[in-house]
Structure 1
Amino acid sequence: MTLVDVLVRVLAVVGALTLTGSIVIVGRPRLYTAAANTRRRTRSILPYLALLVGVLLVNKVARQVGPDVSWIIGWNITGTIFALEGGFVAWLQSFATPPLTAYFSAVYVYGYVFLLVFPLVAYFALADRRALRHLMLTYAINYSIGLILYVLFIAYGPRNLMPDMVQSLLYTSWPQSQLLTSQVNTNTNVFPSLHTSLSVSVAVLAHRTRAELPQWAPIAAVLALSVDVSTMYLGIHWGTDVVAGILLGVGSVLLASRLDKRIQTSELGLALDRRLVRLLRR
């Protein structure tokens, strides 16, 4: 199986989940309305979308040179993390069973991607665009701060530091997944857990929008918790990484809310909106 095969498989599963979730959770009427007003709605969130895409592109480029810069800085915190929690991840893996490993492996890959993609569709379908603006800002903040921390600190995961005690359960149960994870991860960038921070951010935003999407809030909470546990159960992250990820996830939501409020009421934000309107009318 090649990387393309793995990507096609992930896209097919996540696409099916997103389509089903959109129909069941969002509802056909809101989807039809959103489709009919795609241009206007896209125009209203274009600056936020551009920011997110820009951050992701910078993130992709910076991750290529990030490890080299990390070694120049030389702040290796792996020993400190191990001193804090010791064999916690190994203890967690002592409860491993084939069904649990299959569940957490699926959640780590499919569930995580669905958790990030579905809110983009669901919030686009809402009449109030604040949730979508907050979501994209939150993603951008998570990735920006995460990248800075990845460059500043060297941190090896438990499966790398103590392979005799912690197994790489994801790769032993689904070896092909390494083709995908190797594209976005390196052995030295486990602090904090972006899987955790982004999933927690989605769960917090889902709770905030529970009045509009009541079914999504509990689903997001269960998925986020499962993703957080999976990062440790599979031997990828330390408990410390997860705690830091939770703080980053919650903090990103709070910061995104404040930033959006300032942007929407600032002269710069209003000027950008007017400029985008003129560009899109050409």
Structure 2
Amino acid sequence: MGLLEVAAQVGGGVLVLFVVGFAVVVGPSRMRTPADAVRSNLRTVAPVLGVLLVVLAANGVVRDVGLELSWLIGINITGYIHAVEGEFVAFLQSLSTPALTAYFGFVYVFGYVFVLTFPLAAYLLHDDPSSLYELVVAYIVNYGVGLVCYVVFIAYGPRNFMPELVESLLYTTWPEAQLLTTEVNTNTNVFPSLHTSLSVTVAILAYRFRRVYPRWFPISGALALSISVSTMYLGIHWATDVVAGVGLAVLSVSVARWTTEAPNPDGRRHPRTYLFGDGWADGVRRWWRER
């Protein structure tokens, strides 16, 4: 099985999750959102979507050349992480069962892609673009900080650092998955865990905007917890990476929240378009006067 077949398999699985998510979380009434409202939301978030695409492209470039740069200017912190937490990941794997391995392998790949992409589509259908705007800004911060950390910090995951104790459970049960994961990451980019930071970011924003989709918070929260545990259970990340990922998620949501204005008289929150859109200079002067 090649890369395209694996990608198609993941895409098909995520598509099924989307169908279930729209039925359970969004509902038929929201799915009938007028096209004008969707286009308006897209126009509002277009500037930050552009920034996100640039950051993702930069991540792709750094993934190709960043390893050499890391070895020139980076700090190898793998030994320090191991000294702090010892063999915790090995202990976690000692509790493994075939059922747990299948579950955590599923959420690490399929659940992660779903939890990242589904809220983008769901929030796009809401009449207030603030939830979508904050989600995209939070993604930018996650990937941006992660990019810097992956250059500054060299860290091998437990499966690479102590292979005699920690098994690559994902690859032993589904070897083809390695074709996909090697396309988006390298084995020295584990601190912090972006799987954790991005999924926890989604869960925090799901709680923050729980009135938009009340059912999304418990679902995203369960997925975020499962994905975070899966990164350790499968031997990919240390607990330290997960803790750092949670901290990055909190930082990302805080920055995203700052980029929205105080509520208007109508009770709705609107993006600070002067940060990423038209009227930037006037917006900065307005911001300075308000402070």
TM over 0.5: yes
Per the alignment, residue 106 of structure 2 pairs with 106
- 1:269, distance to aligned residue in structure 2 (A): 3.6
Per the alignment, residue 121 of structure 1 pairs with 121
- Percentage of matched positions with identical amino acids: 55
Per the alignment, residue 178 of structure 2 pairs with 178
- 1:235-254 map, 5 Å: 235-254=235-254
Per the alignment, residue 42 of structure 1 pairs with 42
Per the alignment, residue 279 of structure 1 pairs with none
Kept in 2, the 8 Å contact 1:34–1:124? The answer is: no
Aligned partner of 2:104: which letter? F
- 1:193, distance to aligned residue in structure 2 (A): 0.3
* 1:264 matched to 2:255: no
Aligned partner of 1:162: which letter? M
Aligned partner of 1:190: which letter? V
CA distance in 2, matches of 1:245, 1:208: 19
- 1:33, distance to aligned residue in structure 2 (A): 1.2
Root mean square deviation, CA, Å: 1.5
* 1:86 matched to 2:86: yes
- 1:25, distance to aligned residue in structure 2 (A): 1.1
Per the alignment, residue 275 of structure 1 pairs with none
Aligned-partner SS, 1:5: helix
Aligned partner of 2:118: which letter? F
Between Structure 1 and Structure 2, the one with more helix by share is 1
- 1:11-160 map, 5 Å: 11-160=11-160
CA distance in 1, matches of 2:28, 2:202: 23
- 1:54, distance to aligned residue in structure 2 (A): 1.3
CA distance in 1, matches of 2:117, 2:124: 11
- 1:265, distance to aligned residue in structure 2 (A): 6.2
Aligned-partner SS, 1:191: coil
Question: Structure 1 47/74 Cα, relative in aligned 2: closer, same or farther at 3 Å?
Answer: closer
- 1:260, distance to aligned residue in structure 2 (A): 3.6
- 1:47, distance to aligned residue in structure 2 (A): 0.7
CA distance in 1, matches of 2:18, 2:34: 16
CA distance in 2, matches of 1:235, 1:268: 39
Kept in 2, the 8 Å contact 1:22–1:121? The answer is: no
Kept in 2, the 8 Å contact 1:150–1:189? The answer is: yes
Question: Structure 1 93/47 Cα, relative in aligned 2: closer, same or farther at 3 Å?
Answer: same
- 1:18, distance to aligned residue in structure 2 (A): 1.1
Deviations 1:183-238 (A, max 9, x none): 01111111000000001100000111111211110000000000000000000000
Structure 2 unmatched runs, 5+: 263-270, 281-291
**Structure 1 runs (4+) greater than 4 angstroms displaced:** none
CA distance in 2, matches of 1:38, 1:220: 23
Comparing 10-19 and 193-202, the one that deviates more: 10-19
CA distance in 1, matches of 2:279, 2:137: 19
CA distance in 1, matches of 2:138, 2:41: 19
Deviations 1:43-81 (A, max 9, x none): 121111111111111111121111110000141000000
CA distance in 1, matches of 2:71, 2:260: 36
Deviations 1:8-41 (A, max 9, x none): 0111111121122113211122121144533222
Q: What TM-score, normalized to structure 2? A: 0.90
Equivalent pairs, count: 272
CA distance in 2, matches of 1:123, 1:105: 27
Comparing 52-61 and 27-36, the one that deviates more: 27-36
CA distance in 1, matches of 2:238, 2:121: 32
Comparing 226-235 and 179-188, the one that deviates more: 179-188
Aligned partner of 2:223: which letter? L
